[in-house]
Amino acid sequence: MDELERMAAAGERFLPPANDVDEVLDFDALDHAFKKEGENEVGNALALLLHIGSSKRKQEMLEGLNDTTFSMKTEDYIARIQEVGFKKVLELPFHTVHGGQERNDTFYIFWHKDGLFLCMDTYNGDRNSANIYFNYEPNDQRKIWEGLDYVSGGFNGEEGKYFFAGNIDAREGIKHHLETIRTHGKFLNPWKKQDFLWFLHYGDTNGKEYDGYDYKVINQERIAMLPREIQEAIRGE
């Protein structure tokens, strides 16, 4: 057993019990440690152990559910998102220099018939970033934020006719998150609004200042590569 494994085992012994998937995913090691020991050296040491232990617990739980995990090989990640209906609609290889090394990676876009757009890039054979963009309508207009704990974006429309436009980090536990959202509403296809999009890979911004690239131009270039029916579906009203 190496040092990291020993720390993970020690951290797991201090973890509080979790009753469901969300409690495992939501666990805040730093907050728990500081509440227990205070903001001091003991608290910092406990936070580190709890972080390593909780990361191991999340990894094992999500693997047991055949869900996505924070660190995954590209082929494994693609296999898992395809299981829930995502279809590849763009594969764009790119070359860049990062960390003093030349790298060949790939940018992907996947589409789901429910109106979900999943964009991801790779790094050294592993899945790097991954985000899903979507429009959504809640079942209960009086409880519009239920099921949307992990998303970025906001609601549009008027009272009684609200809809959400935004995105969610698709790296970890994405099957669980999408199932949770579906229990409280429905995804929209076509979209009512095209909100903020980021169809860029790390090579687009690598080594550049913010004004060294125009993400809107790059977005439009990538969208133009997609099938016409998908372009129409995400255009918005």
Mean local confidence (pLDDT), 2-8: 70
Q: Which of 34-43, 147-156, 193-202 has the lowest mean pLDDT?
A: 34-43
Q: Is the pLDDT of residue 226 over 90?
A: yes
Q: How many CB atoms lie within 10 A of CB 219?
A: 16
Considering the chain, what percentage of its residues have pLDDT values greater than 70? 97
Mean local confidence (pLDDT), 84-100: 94
Q: Is the pLDDT of residue 12 over 80?
A: no
Q: Angle 27-29-33 (CA atoms, 0-180°, nearest 5)?
A: 130
Is pTM beyond 0.85? Reply is yes
Among 39, 174, 45, 178, which Cα is nearest to 120's? 174
Domain-wise residue ranges, the chain: 3-64, 74-233
Q: How many CB atoms lie within 10 A of CB 1?
A: 7
pLDDT tens digits for range 164-185? 999 999 999 999 999 999 999 9
The two tokens of residue 167 are 């995105």
pLDDT at 27: 86
Mean local confidence (pLDDT), 140-160: 94
